[in-house]
Amino acid sequence: MALRISARSELPPFMVMDVVEKAEAMQASTHEVLRMEMGQPASLPPQAALAALQRYIDDPRAHSYTLSRGITPLRQAIARHYKRWYDLVIDPDQILITMGSSVGFLMAFLTCFDAGARIAMTVPGYSAYRNLMLSASLEPMLIDVYAEDDWRLSVEKLAALSPRPDGLLIANPANPTGVALSGAEVEAIAKWCEANGVRLISDEIYHGIHFGAAGHCARQYASSALVLNSFSKYFAMTGHRIGWIIAPDDLVDPLDRLGQNSFISANALSQMAAAAALDDPDSYRQMDEYVARYRINRDLLLARLPEKLLGQFPYPDGGFYIYADTRALSADSAVLSNRFLDELSISVTPGCDFDERLGHLYTRLSFAGSTEDMAEAAQRLSDWVAQNA
Ligand SMILES: Cc1ncc(COP(=O)(O)O)c(C=O)c1O
């Protein structure tokens, strides 16, 4: 007799993973692929992190469980990071280390909300949010945003939501659109949430990767907000799986207990490396050089790619993605992505991963790779468009 599988496990797949699998299979058969599908920085983590990995490799503490909320030096270093970047005083006891921000999202959902709660988020948006909400028996409330409105979320859109959501998840800068909210926008959204009893969860994983004004942390405006972040993007440490949550006092213990019972602790050696990265000012200089390269990559692609591939869209002002309007090339971006991979050996992500409604008209290009790869990709894509469109 076939036994039941829970309804909550019937999640849509992460389509980019199909692209990754195919691209990796091609690479394994010595086929070179220009990788533009994942948000994977092409460069190494901070030198200070690499040195720490070597320094601590024989230290028994590097191979042990840690406190579930993370090692104290890392939580203290993150608190100093908030003072440095935002002039914010955060108590290290309000910081919890997670296994990447991905696990942090699930922890935040499970501790903040009961089954059936409604959580608002913008679409297009990072699909794991919605899928994790479904797996936690929560109800995503999708707020459509459009290129014509600069993909922006406004308080007017929030006020129009009916029924009122229990929570709101914002990503700033956003994936895939690259929209970075101004301080005034974050403040207005955070204040609306506090005034309306809506729990704000702010994904700030792309902070530091800004091409205009610096990022604003939701905690600057709402003490009840949860802030999620990680070492994956600005610090180029995706594989270490180290993220963090800044939580209001009343959520610290529930989050800590959930961590203790689910993953016990994040990788000890990686936590030590992350702390070393934050403690060395050179890490910031090195990472800012990467950000300067992302900007060069963005500008190169926007200057060289044909309009038929880019469409009309607002400039990404943070993160490392272009969410291109590819409808002039194909009404199905999944088909288009496959063609780019098969015919040009370029892997990109179809927009359906971010938007079930209009995603077939969009394609996400990641410019986190090397400038050399971006130039080569721009050439191949431009030639392809000239021949095929
Ligand atoms: C917007 C956003 N949030 C969260 C994540 C998860 O990152 P990690 O689990 O590596 O911290 C990603 C990964 O690409 C992302 O794009």
Q: How is the chain split into domains, by residue range?
A: 7-44+283-388, 47-281
Query: Per residue in 216-272, pLDDT tens?
Result: 999 999 999 999 999 999 999 999 999 999 999 999 999 999 999 999 999 999 999
Nearest to 137 by CA among 256, 258, 9: 9
pLDDT at 14: 78
Contacting residues for 5 by C-beta, under 8 A, at least 6 apart = none
Atom of ligand 1 nearest to the CA of 238: 10
Decide whether 7-44+283-388 matches 47-281 in CATH topology: no
**Greatest CA span in the chain, whole angstroms?**
61
Fold of 7-44+283-388: Aspartate Aminotransferase, domain 1 (3.90.1150)
Any ligand 1 atom below 6 A from CB of 101: yes
Compute the distance from residue 388 Cα to the ligand 1 centre, in Å: 34
Ligand 1 pocket test: pick from 102, 228, 263, 323 the residue with the most ligand atoms within 8 Å of its Cβ.
102
CATH 1.10.357.10 at 47-281, yes or no: no
Compute the distance from residue 101 Cα to the ligand 1 centre, in Å: 6
User: Is the distance from CB of 208 to CB of 234 less than 8 angstroms?
Assistant: yes
Q: What is the pTM assigned to this prediction?
A: 0.95
Distances (CA, A) of 211 to 84, 254, 340: 19, 37, 28
Atom of ligand 1 nearest to the CA of 101: 11
> Looking at 13-27, 51-65, 168-182, 274-288, which range is the least confident one?
13-27
Compute the distance from residue 88 Cα to the ligand 1 centre, in Å: 23
Compute the distance from residue 39 Cα to the ligand 1 centre, in Å: 8
Distances (CA, A) of 92 to 73, 80, 386: 9, 9, 55
Any ligand 1 atom below 6 A from CB of 242: no
Spatial distance between the Cα atoms of 35 and 348, rounded to a whole number of angstroms = 7
Query: Per residue in 25-78, pLDDT tens?
Result: 998 887 889 999 999 999 999 999 999 999 999 999 999 999 999 999 999 999
Any ligand 1 atom below 6 A from CB of 317: no
Any ligand 1 atom below 6 A from CB of 267: no
